[in-house]
Amino acid sequence: MSIVSKSLKRIKPSPTIAVTQKARELKAAGKDVIGLGAGEPDFDTPDNIKKVAIEAINTGDTKYTAVDGTPALKKAIVKKFKRENNLDYTIDQITVGSGGKQVIYNALMATVDIGDEVIIPAPYWVSYPDIVLLAGGEPIIIKCTEEKNFKLNPSDLENSITKKTKWVILNSPSNPTGACYSENEIKKIAEVLKNHPHVHILSDDIYEHISYEGFKFFTIAQIEYLKDRVLTMNGVSKSYAMTGWRIGYAAGPKEIIKAIAKIQSQSTTNPSSISQAAAVEALNGTQTFISERSKAFQERRDFVVSELNKISGINCLKPEGAFYVFPNCKDLLGKKNKKGHFLKTDTDFVQSLLEDVGVAVVQGSAFGLEGFFRISYATSMENLKKALMKISDFCKSLK
């Protein structure tokens, strides 16, 4: 009899982490590999943030903190929501975790009972369904097609809500597609949810500051009649290039925030004290570098989309945010690679791309939509130019 729990057998390892690890292993073995799998900015953490972290170490700020965040960081988060989103919260409506993933995990583990349904638009961030499954819930996947710009249609949402629906998860800008919901689109979704008061909304806003062409970010908690049912998750990892610091946070109803703290008290306890001090500076300090870096991301996006659309058999929409593209490779499936192997699925396609030409991307099926693949352009233009040449050559070689 296996010692592994039945609930753990319901889930799979993170596909994006698996791709990144495989690329690392090939590099360590001396292979020339360009990794476009990780959702991690290649920029360094800004110096003002690093300086505050060093000061925190030198002044002995190295002890346990409150389980779900220091008062200083919670105050900075309250100010951020007011300054940037015109949202009013009190400190007891704020939670801080060891990364945005932990905040989402804690929230779902604290609220989802066996049989509860969680509506997840696809393509989705890979961890949403598995966390729901681990909590004993049932992911209800709504496929959002390329023709709909990978966005949730209000009528599809309406048709998917049942008495068992506990949460709806929204992610804008989106991982993996970069799709962004406008204020008008969010309001149409809100109109559906207005009529279902038993449904809560988890808004994953981690890519809030990475958008292009003047896109105006709007989060669903800004709709007053829904605010008391919304948990808004954010963090410092993407906007401030602080992925390794592991700080995520959320604002929402006191009951949920208290439940999250209870879960965290029995798992990690507090996030790193040093990282929390750094996050205070990130939120309170200068923000000018964010727009500067977004310009660099936009330049990369434009290049990647243009080059992909030059490749016969590839079609790629131009996203409005995040640092991913989600090209369609369906026309290339069913063909043979140089070794004579049929590429039947998008998983076959990305595995062959890695093995044959050394470019690591992630298959669309990992995000709930078959026939696509995700490229992260959060890397140098030099790497992107090399990678796109290799992808083009690989696609041309398929017969």
Per-position b or e across 62-90, b if 16+ CB within 10 A of its CB: eeebebbbbeebbbbbbebbeeebebebe
Which residue ranges in the chain fall short of pLDDT 70? none
C-alpha separations of 156 from 15, 51, 150, 186, 381 in Å: 27, 48, 13, 14, 39
Please give the single-letter amino acid code of residue 264: Q
Please report the pLDDT score of residue 2 as a whole number. Answer: 86
- Among 191, 279, 231, which residue's Cα sits nearest to residue 94? 231
Please report the pLDDT score of residue 21 as a whole number. Answer: 81
Beta bridge partners of 336: 342
Please report the pLDDT score of residue 23 as a whole number. Answer: 79
Please, what are the domains in the chain?
Answer: 8-44+289-397 (3.90.1150.10), 63-284 (3.40.640.10)
Q: What is the dihedral of CA 236, 168, 263, 258, to 10 degrees?
A: 90
Indicate the burial class of 396 (C-beta count within 10 angstroms; 0-12, 13-18, 19 or more).
Answer: exposed
Eight-state DSSP code of residue 282:
H
Please report the pLDDT score of residue 148 as a whole number. Answer: 95
CA distance linking residue 264 with residue 233, whole number of Å: 16
Please report the pLDDT score of residue 276 as a whole number. Answer: 98
**Which tokens hold the place of 192?**
């559906």
Please report the pLDDT score of residue 22 as a whole number. Answer: 79
CA distance linking residue 194 with residue 214, whole number of Å: 29
Q: Is 208 helix (H, G, I), strand (E, B) or coil?
A: coil
Q: What is the pTM of this model?
A: 0.96
Beta bridge partners of 35: 360
Please report the pLDDT score of residue 19 as a whole number. Answer: 75
Eight-state DSSP code of residue 272:
P
Rounded to the nearest angstrom, the gap between the alpha carbon of residue 389 and the centroid of all alpha carbons in its chain is: 27
Q: What is the dihedral of CA 125, 68, 205, 308, to 10 degrees?
A: -40
- Cβ within 8 Å of residue 342, ≥6 positions away: 334, 335, 336, 348
Mean pLDDT across the chain: 96
Strand extents, DSSP E, 172-310: 200-204, 230-235, 248-251
